[in-house]
Amino acid sequence: MPINYKKKILLIGSSGYIGNAFLDYLKKDNKIDVNLTYNKKSNSSFYRNRSNTYDIEKIDKRFLKMFKKIDLIYFLASSENTYLNDSFQIDNYITNLLLKVINLVIRYNKKTKMIYMSSENAHGNKKNVKDSPLNIYGIEKLFNEKIIEIFSHNYNLNLLSLRLSNIYGFTYNLNNNLKSSLNRIIINLIKNNEINLYKNKNCFRSFTHIDDICKLLIKLIYKKEIYNGNVYYFGNCEKKTIDQVISLIKKGYNKEYSNEIRINMNDKPLSFFEMRNFYLTKKNNLAYILGSIKIKNINDGITDLISNYKIYYKKQ
C-alpha cells in the first residue's frame, strides 16, 4: 500500500444529523477520501456543488470504479417519517436500499467493511432481556439489523450494526440540531426562556454526544475484528432521569443568562414508548470494548451545548 494512501469511505445518507456532523468532523482529517451518495429522497441542495457525489440509483462505470476501492461504508440513511410514534406505515425504501448496497458489496467489493447505523429503539425497554421494539421505527431498525446479521454470516462479509441512544450536540445546520430532543430543549430555553416538562420526567435515559460518535466512526475505519454481523451499542453509561438532565440544563443556563426560567408542565398522555426506561451499560458497548475513546459526560456536554447556542443565536 502506498505511503500516501488515503482510506476511502462512502457515506450513504450524509445530509442528516449524524452525517452532517461527521462530514464537518472529517474536514480535520486529510488522510481520508470521502465519497457521498444521494437518491430521489435526498435533500438536493445539500449535495449541490459537492465533489465525489454519486447517484445510488444510477450504478454506472464511474460509481463502480469508486465503489471497488472503498474501505468502509457508513449506512446512515434512515426514514424520519417512521420515527413518529403514531406512524402507520413502514418506508421499505431504506430496507431495499440497504439490500442493494449489500448486493453491491457481494458482487464488487467483499473486502470492504460496512456499519449500519441503528438505534436503541430496536431494543425498546430496558426491563426486557430480548429485543422488543415499542414503535414502528424500532421494528424497522431491528429488521435491518437482522439483514446485516444474516448476510454477514452467509456471505462472510465485514458488517456490523451500531445502536445509538439520545444523541445531542451542536452542528452548524440548525435544522439538524432540531432533530435532537435535548438540543430542542436547550434551543427553546435560550430563545423563549422556558422548559416544557412531560409526565416522563422520572424516566431514565442515556445521552451520547455527537462528537464522541464522530470519533468512534473514525476509529472504526482502522478496526476489522468487530465486523462480524453483531449488534453493538455506543455511548455514555451515565444513568440519568429526564428531570436530572433538566436540572443540569437549568444550572448551565443560569451561568450564562440572568433571565428567569418558566417551567411548563404538559399533562398530555404519553405512549408506553415515551414512558419507557432506557440507558446504556458496558455490555456490547464499543466505548469499552475498544477503549481509548474518552466519552463526554452529560454535564460537560450540556455546558458546551449552551455555550455554542449562545454564540450561534447572537449571530442571528
Per-residue pLDDT of 255-266, as tens digits, reads 888 888 998 988
Domain boundaries, the chain: 7-172+207-238+282-296
Average pLDDT of the chain, as a whole number:
89
Contact criterion met (CB below 8 Å) for 200 and 130:
no
- Of 155, 118, 213, 178, the C-alpha closest to 309 is 178
The residue length of the chain stands at 316
Element (H or E) spanning 206, and its range? Answer: none
Q: To which residue does cell 463526554 refer?
A: 296
Is residue 2 very low, low, confident or very high in pLDDT (cuts 50, 70, 90)?
Answer: low
What's the pTM?
Answer: 0.93
pLDDT in tens, 27-47: 887 789 999 999 877 777 788
Report the pLDDT value the prediction gives residue 273, as an integer from 0 to 100.
78
Is residue 9 very low, low, confident or very high in pLDDT (cuts 50, 70, 90)?
Answer: very high
Q: Which residues, 6 or more positions from 227, have their beta carbon under 8 angstroms from its beta carbon? A: 113, 114, 152, 158, 159, 160
pLDDT in tens, 159-213: 999 999 899 999 888 788 888 999 999 999 998 889 988 888 899 999 999 999 9
Q: Which residues, 6 or more positions from 271, have their beta carbon under 8 angstroms from its beta carbon? A: 85, 134, 135
- Options 3.40.50.720, 3.20.20.450, 3.20.20.70, 1.10.40.30; CATH for 7-172+207-238+282-296 is 3.40.50.720
**Dist CA 228 CA 222 (whole Å):** 15
Kindly tell me if the per-residue pLDDT of 313 is higher than 90. no
Average pLDDT on 76-93 reads: 74
pLDDT in tens, 213-271: 999 999 999 998 999 999 999 998 899 999 999 999 999 999 888 888 998 988 888 88
Helix (H, G, I), strand (E, B) or coil at 158: strand
- Of 183, 242, 175, the C-alpha closest to 209 is 183
**Dist CA 140 CA 79 (whole Å):** 9
Report the pLDDT value the prediction gives residue 272, as an integer from 0 to 100.
77
Which of residues 82 and 113 earns the better pLDDT score? 113
Kindly tell me if the per-residue pLDDT of 59 is higher than 60. yes
Lowest-pLDDT choice from 54-58, 100-104, 288-292: 288-292
Kindly tell me if the per-residue pLDDT of 81 is higher than 70. no
